């Protein structure tokens, strides 16, 4: 199972919504080959480290704000988002615990104590046991362009639709890694995250997933 599936699941929990750059895409010709390739990539990938640039576009203000930081993922379900700009902020997910670090203060949430995190856990389990592309929580459409395989996820559940209109994942055709995520909110505000300088299977210390 692709680690990047965990990543986009996490993304959908915290970045509701997205719109799609429709230019230059066409229906994917071989979705089976794409899914198999992704599974193979997942088998040989134990960790991912990447820089990210996040752009939030607000329709109402005609503005955008850029955030930057580092992302760390380690199998099976350890994740760390480390925002460096516009201010330092870390969120780490580790074995059912979600930890936030803001201005030196660490807050830990028990995933069972929060419906949102329960949902996240549920999807993680689905990922471990099955295939996210078979999830009944989303409807899926597959596209491609010259450089990317593109998966468009639309939530089926009405509660989730309140937060997210669409999530679009751009997988690099050369190595199956996610290079871009776009999220569209029902208000048409969008969040785009670009991943750069990806390192696969680099050693990531365990302490990165425990905040104190």
- Provide the binding-site residues for another protein, judged by CB under 8 A: 14-17, 54, 56, 58, 60-67, 83, 86-87, 89, 91, 100, 102, 114-116, 162-163, 183, 185-187, 189, 191
Question: Residue 67's beta-bridge partner residues?
Answer: 54
**Nearer CB in complex with another protein: 29/87:** 87
For residue 136, how far is the Cα from the chain centroid?
A: 18
Least gap, CB of 51 to another protein (angstroms): 17
Q: d(Cα 94, Cα 176) in Å, to the nearest integer?
A: 24
What 8-state DSSP symbol labels residue 76? T
Nearest distance, CB of residue 103 and another protein, angstroms:
8
Q: Which is nearer to another protein, 42 or 189 (CB)?
A: 189
* Residues 50 and 71: beta-carbon distance below 8 Å: yes
SS3 state of residue 18: strand
| Least distance from another protein to the Cβ atom of residue 65, Å | 6
CB of 212 to another protein, least distance (A): 18
User: Token pair of 189, please?
Assistant: 């505000």
Which 8-state DSSP code applies to residue 203? -
Q: Which is nearer to another protein, 40 or 187 (CB)?
A: 187
C-alpha span between 79 and 69 (Å, rounded): 13
Beta strands in 62-147 (DSSP E): 63-74, 78-85, 89-94, 97-102, 105-110, 138-144
Measured from the CB atom, the residue of 95 and 114 that comes closer to another protein is: 114
**Structure-block tokens of residue 174:** 């050369």
Name which of 98 and 151 has its Cβ closer to another protein.
98
CB of residue 27 to another protein, shortest distance in Å: 29
């Amino acid at each position: 199972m692709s680690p990047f599936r965990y990543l986009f699941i996490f993304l959908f929990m915290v970045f509701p919504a997205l719109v799609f750059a429709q230019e230059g895409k066409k229906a994917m010709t071989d979705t089976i080959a794409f899914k198999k390739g992704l599974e193979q990539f997942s088998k040989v990938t134990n960790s991912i480290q990447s820089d990210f640039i996040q752009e939030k576009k607000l329709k109402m203000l005609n503005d955008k704000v850029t955030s930057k930081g580092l992302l760390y993922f380690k199998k099976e379900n350890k994740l760390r988002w480390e925002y460096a700009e516009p201010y330092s902020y870390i969120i780490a997910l580790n074995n059912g615990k979600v930890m936030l670090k803001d201005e030196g203060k660490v807050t830990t949430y028990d995933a069972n104590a929060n419906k949102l995190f329960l949902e996240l856990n549920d999807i993680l389990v689905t990922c471990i046991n099955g295939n996210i592309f078979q999830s009944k929580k989303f409807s899926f459409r597959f596209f491609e362009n010259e450089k990317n395989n593109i998966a468009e996820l639309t939530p089926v559940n009405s509660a989730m639709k309140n937060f997210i209109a669409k999530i679009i994942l751009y997988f690099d055709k050369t190595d199956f890694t996610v290079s871009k995520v776009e999220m569209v909110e029902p208000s048409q505000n969008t969040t785009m995250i670009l991943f750069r300088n990806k390192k696969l299977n680099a050693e990531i210390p365990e302490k990165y997933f425990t905040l104190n």
